[in-house]
Amino acid sequence: MHDKAQALRRLLARPGIIQVAGAHNGLGARLVEEAGFDAVWASGLEISAANAVPDANILTMTDYQEAAANINEATDLPVIADCDTGYGNYGNVIRLIKKYEALGIAAVCIEDKCFPKVNSYIPGRQELAPLPEFVGKIMAAKDAQISAAFMVIARVEALIAGWGLEEAWRRAEAYAAAGADAILIHSKAKTPDEIQAFIRGWRRAEPLVVVPTSYSQVTVEELAAWGVKIVIYANAGLRAAVRAMSQVLRKLRQAGSLAAVEADITPMSTIFELQDMPRLRAAEKKYSCRP
């Protein structure tokens, strides 16, 4: 089997920053790969939105896992799965590690909020889990994995919850000491200042991961220069799709003819290619007994 955990480890060992984009299904993963990204983020927000439900653990682990499997099958890139809080306590984390690793997912990311979580950009209820409880989850995750290459990313939500930099460092250090392979430091600030301050005070070797959704003006060159190892553009694909689909459908409804939107939509031939139709055609030639 193509070992994607090893592939992600190789990317990490390379100098420079790893660029990752979010997806919620196999088609999205193909588009991420075609665009030249290094890895795919199986985004909880995207998967929830694709099911038209809030990003608040309304779906079950099985739903997220099914979407992650679909994403993973569709791409040769390593997949980093957003696993929210681990869908419960350490017992749930142990099961999720077994399941995701067996699927060939390269890494999982678990965040230190209380279950059920709510998306980090929703104001209000952003309850942090007690530090020792989350340390237990990280230890359970690391003990549960089978291959050495599989990665567990610990996501620190202290800045999201408004607990400040000191708490963010305290938690990040504890999670790294508990065995986390990387730290995702999240922020909902409009500028990257607090992320930059966090990075300046980070003394450990574990790589840092950021998700610049709210501080979108930051460039990949800046992040790389600050020492960030992985940048995740978590939901650009989903938001692009929603805007494009909505605009085209409204225009079509008004115009009453598909010709009015023909220039705005992808040709059928592109869809067939994204579906791997040419490969099926080749298989047909080789295996079909029908003329």
Question: Minimum distance from CB of 235 to ligand SPV (Å)?
Answer: 5
Shorter beta-carbon distance to Mg ion: residue 84 or 181: 84
Binding to ligand SPV (CB under 6 A) within 168-227 occurs at: 211, 213
The residue from 20, 45, 159, 161 that contacts ligand SPV (CB under 6 A) is: 45
Instruction: List the catalytic residue out of 55, 82, 84, 181.
Output: 55
Counting DSSP H helices and E strands in the chain, the numbers are 12, 8
In order of 175, 200, 241, the CA distances from 203 in angstroms are 14, 8, 40
Say what angle helices 26-34 and 61-74 make with each other, to 10 degrees: 40
Q: Which x/- pattern over 230-269 shows residues binding ligand SPV (rule: CB under 6 A)?
A: ----xx----------------------------------
Residue 258 DSSP symbol: G
Binding to Mg ion (CB under 5 A) within 81-100 occurs at: 82
Question: Minimum distance from CB of 71 to ligand SPV (Å)?
Answer: 13
Whether residue 15 is preceded by a cis peptide bond, meaning omega within 30 degrees of 0, is no
- In the structure encoding, which two tokens stand for residue 204, read together? 């450990």
Active site residue 3: no
- In the structure encoding, which two tokens stand for residue 291, read together? 């003329």
Binding to ligand SPV (CB under 6 A) within 14-43 occurs at: 22, 43
Residue keyed to tokens 């682990």: 61
Residues contributing to the site for Mg ion (CB under 5 A)? 44, 82
Which residues are part of the catalytic machinery?
A: 55
